[in-house]
Each structure stands twice: as structure tokens, then as C-alpha cells.
Structure 1
Amino acid sequence: MTDNGTAPHGAVLGGTAPPDGPLVELRGAGKSYGNIRALHGVDLQVRPGRVTCVLGDNGAGKSTLIKIISGLHQHTEGEFLVDGRPVRFGTPREALDLGIAAVYQDLATVPLMPVWRNFFLGSELTVGPWPIRRLDIARMKETADRELRHMGIVLDDLEQPIGTLSGGQRQCVAIARAVHFGARVLILDEPTAALGVKQSGVVLKYIAAARDRGLGVVFITHNPHHAYMVGDHFSVLRLGTLELSADRSEIGLEELTHHMAGGTELAALKHELAQVRGVDVEEMPEKEDLSAPVANSSEGNS
């Protein structure tokens, strides 16, 4: 961040919305592609210092929601507000100018480039007179190291190719990069989807660190256990509509898992399978039985 409180792209960091008001808000928002309605009637608020978890199976509408908030696509119904003002982004750069940054699964990194170079990829610092300006390598290394340490990320060698880092470490570098370049709202697209248990824990730690720095975090995931570890609010999408919207105090992990697993669909499936010979449906979980495996794995997570 620059010393005058603005992001490098000109977005004012804070001071435009009430301290307790939402940074980003969707009211009845939806998106249609021709005759196909991908998203409909979605209400969502992203507040500073809170993690809003958006859960859903494949095809639930999570990707469409990300694209609307990050400025890649425009909504076709409802309202989209930033700092209480209606907006309609034409490009992701317009969203970034207002402090909304998305970190996608591919991370937009170059595996063979050093960590510090990836940190400033596309926003390199230069020094010297035009037209013979050159990269300010020393300042970029110093800044990258400082910002990574502020997020609790300590790397022994910033010269190492970013491709040699673990998946969790690369995710954390991408998060720190977005924070440095002025993100007030951080959208994380399935950051733990391809990671093991240990590396997922590393990423969840830095999601919590971003929240503690006052960012509004949108955590997109299909894993209710990961969501419940760091989430403050939970929204479950199903077939493009909002099935559940609840604060942490209003819902437990087992109920969240039930909604995510599609409890209604499971009940219907059990009824159908009961008509098939050779299928034992007595062992299939009812709604209340879903708590058994969940309770064991969630101890100490909240």
C-alpha cells in the first residue's frame, strides 16, 4: 500500500463506507446467459473483518457469483453495491480500483520466476529516467519480504522459483500480494480444493490473518469443515439460488454439512433406492445421523 492510503491503482482504502456497513452487498442479484439462468435472487453481504463462506456443489453458481463481484461479468438482475453505492463493473480492473481482488485456483503465477517477481507480476517497480527505466529489484525484494512477513509468511529465499513452493505456500503468497495491492475485499476461489490436510490448514491460517487485518473475505468452497473453521457467515448455493444464509451463531457444523450434502435430495434418493433389490438403504444416513462423522472431525475447530 502507498503512504497516502490509496492502492496503486487509485482505489481509496477505507473511509468510504460506515465502519460497520458492508463493503460489498448483493440484493436479489442474478445472472442469465441467454435463456439460461445461472444465478437468481442472491442476497449477500461482505463486511470488514469477517469471512463470508459461499458453499455449493458443482453447478451451484459459485463461479458466476465470483465473476459478478470481481467485475468479470455484469449482473442481469437485482443490485450490486460497493460501499453502499450501486455499481456495474465493465472490467476486473474497475473492481480492483475499488479494492476488490480475486485469487483464483491457478493463482496467475509463473512457476519458473522467483517469488519476489511473481509478487509484483504486472505491477513492477522501476527506477531511473524515462525511457531507460529499469526494474527496482532491491525495493521489490524488500517490499515482498516485508509484506509476506506481515502475513506471517517467512521464506528463506525469495529468489527460489515460486513453482518450488508447496500449494499452500503459493496460495499464501497470492493472498499477501492481493492485500499489498490494496484489496479490501478478498475473494478466494476454492483455495484448499487441491491441497492435503496440512497445506489446507496453512491456507486457512492465512485466511484468518487476512480477516484479522480488517479485510472482508469471501471464501468459496465445497468443504463445510474448512468453511466452519474460519467462517463468520455461511451462504449455501444450490442450482443458482440461495438455499441457506446464516451467521455462525445460528448454525452448527452438522446442519451446515446437511445443507451442503443436499439432505432433501439424499432423502429422496434413499426412497428411490429402497425400490431396488440388493441395495441396503438402512445404513444410509438420515439428517440426524450426519452429525456422527462431523462431530469427531470438528473438535477444537471452532
Structure 2
Amino acid sequence: MSYKVKLLNFLKSSVNREYCLPIINKILQANFMRGKFIITIDKTHEKLSLSQEEIIKNIENIIEFIVKKALIEGYNALAIPFIISKKKAPNFYIIEERPREDELWRFLYLILTGIHYGDYVLNLENVPEEIVKDFREWLINKNFVILEKERSGLNINELLSELELPRGIPLMKCEFILGFIFVSYFVKFWKEKLEEKVIAETFKRKIIEITDESSLVIFILSKQKKKMYIFPRLKEIIKKYYEDFFKSDDLVPSISKFIFSLYITKKDYKEESANLLNKFLYYLLQGYVNGELLSKAIELKISYELKENKIYGVSRALQFFSRI
């Protein structure tokens, strides 16, 4: 099934349409002029102009127009939000270079069907569609994703509480911490499904279909910074760092306990601490342990505890270091 068909099928649900509306608004934010969202195709003199109220009923028209614009004019930040526009960097482009239609629909599918929080959108690629759908429904049923019109997206307080994480982590500035939390919840979902005996055998067959090409995808859609990160070998990372979790009765993965026991909640330390962990997790999500960043995080924690004359320690360190 093509990405176009999968996305259009996804948008048949009114709940899905309302959920992805904030993402559409993020994509179109640079095209808001005089109370309207306006997209033009200069070569054909076509224009699409919609008010905020008209967006939700016209999502298909919008994305079809975005794809058409890119096919006629070349790569642009509407179809692929993290790309440099041709107007801003004309020398960067080859004159004949044009995006493929399936490529455009792939990016739009991954962005609009993703789980969003603020300027971030997270998704899984090359994972069986049924599993991704089940995972999404599981997040909703567990109240980890909110579908209300005014505040749809990840329910951060619930997510942090379930993993026994301290509140106040500046996730709006820490995309890789958020990505790590997202993966940890996918693992929790995976484990729970395997424990449900009625459907376990069917789910095991689906899990086998997850290949080494499975990836975590993170989009950043802020006005100032638009980026896309792809972390491949998701299955390998899960096997390496979460294997003990599947074999235990623990509700929280040991890797999560280790990582966040390094976080310092104290006001004077929390930003530096979060920044170090965010950088460290950028490498961990790629399957690498950055020893320098890990040492700095541990040194900062030790320095803080000595200053405060309180010893909190590092949780599950033995399990973590035995894997590297």
C-alpha cells in the first residue's frame, strides 16, 4: 500500500483529523498572511487560500496541493519542512532536481500520523502498520496521548509518572530525551502485548516482521529550527538495552532508571543536567555510548551531591555497564 493511500485512509477518521490539525498548522505557519493560510504555485499561477476554520475540512486538498507544488517547482519546506527552500539557497539546487511523488507522500505520512508534543513529532518507520496502529491505540487507551481539540498530543505528566521520572524535565528543549521516552513506551507496549496470552502468538508473528530497517523518526517543526532525525536499527537497540526488561516483572526498564537517576532536579543544575543527557541520548539512540558525555553527567551529579551533602546514587548502573 502506498504512503498516499495510507495517509488518506488515516484521515478518514474525524479523530485523526482533529489530532493532526496542530501539525498541519505548524507546517503552514510560514504561509499565514492577513488572516489566511496561502499557498501558491508560481509557475501555474494557482493559489490555495484558507482560513483557520477551513483547514480541518480541507486537509486532503492542502496536502494534495503541497505535493503538486513540489512536483512542479521542486523541493520546498512545505512538503519537506526541514529542507532549505530554493529561494533561500538557490545555488544549493540542481536545476533538473525534482522530488519523487512517493518520497513526498512518505514525509507527509510520517509527519501527519506521528505523535506530537509542542514542536516535536515522533513516529516509527519500517515497523508493520498494524503494530504502529496498535501502539497508537494503546497510548490513547492508557491516557498517554490526549485527543481533546484544545490540547491534543502527548500527556507528558502521565508519561513521566508512569516511568517514575521527575517532573520539570525541560522536554521542549530536549528532543532526544523525548525520543528515548517514546522508545521506552514502545517497549512497554511490546512487553504488555506479549504478556496477553490470548493475542501473544499473533503479536509475536507481527514482531518478527520488525526488521533491522525499523527506525525512530523525530521531526522538529518550530519556526526557528526545522529538522528531521532518523535513528535506524531500532530492533537492535531494543534488544541490547531492554532485553532484561522483557524477562523481569519490572514496570520500568532498568535503562530508563539508570538514565534518569543521572538527572538533577535542582534549579541551578537542571538545565545543564538535561542538556548533557539529551546529547548523550542522541548517541545512545544510534547504538553508541558516548563516554565523554556520560562521564560529564556523572561528574555533575557527584559534584551536586557533594555540595548538597546528600547521596542519591545511580540506579541500575551494573545492568547498564554490563551491556557496553
Fold match (TM-score > 0.5):
no
More strand by share: 1
Greater relative contact order structure (CA < 8 Å, 6+ sep): 1
Q: TM-score, structure 2 length as denominator?
A: 0.25
